[in-house]
Amino acid sequence: MIFDIIKKRRSVFPTQYNNKPVSKEAIEKVLEAANYAPTHKKTEPWRFKVLQGESQEKLGLFLSLKYMETEPKPKQFKVEKLIQNPQKAGAVIAICMQRDPQLSVPEWEEVAATAMAVQNMWLCCTEMGIGCYWSSPGLIKHMDDFFELKMGEVCLGFFYMGHYDEDIPEVEKGPWKDKVTWM
């Protein structure tokens, strides 16, 4: 039932992943789920770049070097984390958004549509028992130095995926009623 999957959706981080690879079929299913996201004027702005194996290592190295280059006082633990996290994942998917060249809808709607695509990916991973999370480090503003991004395309973050062994704890949420005003 979809409500149960929504309630089970969690951030599962690379430190929690085991070494079991994420299959190409699972990644393709997740990307297909993303493609069913709603989009105003059918612009379908989501774009994804799948990294596995050596490309994950290159991403980690790029992020760590860019961090050391741009951070006045880089912290060694962060350098190591930037190198290791992509390597620990079964796959990393760069989440990109391609701006509609006609600017037919506001940019925030394109970002929202891409976020809905990512939510579909997250729910699909939850259903398949694959851990994942959306990382949006400040370094994403430099991703045009790593990827060949098209005109109007921006990177919004990374979708880390990996299998895990431990139980993921229930999440504490405030009551939904505290966030609603009935008119």
Q: Is 55 annotated as a binding residue?
A: no
- SS (HEC) of the chain: CHHHHHHHCCCCCHHHECCCCCCHHHHHHHHHHHCCCCCHHHCCCEEEEEECCHHHHHHHHHHHHHHHHHCCCCCHHHHHHHHHHHHHCCEEEEEEEECCCCCCCCHHHHHHHHHHHHHHHHHHHHHHCCEEEEECCHHHHHHHHCCCCCCCEEEEEEEEEECECCCCCCCCCCCHHHHCCCC
Q: Is 104 annotated as a binding residue?
A: no
Q: Is 40 annotated as a binding residue?
A: yes
Q: Is 136 annotated as a binding residue?
A: yes
Q: Is 9 annotated as a binding residue?
A: yes
Binding-site positions for FMN = 9-11, 40, 134-136
Binding-site positions = 9-11, 40, 134-136
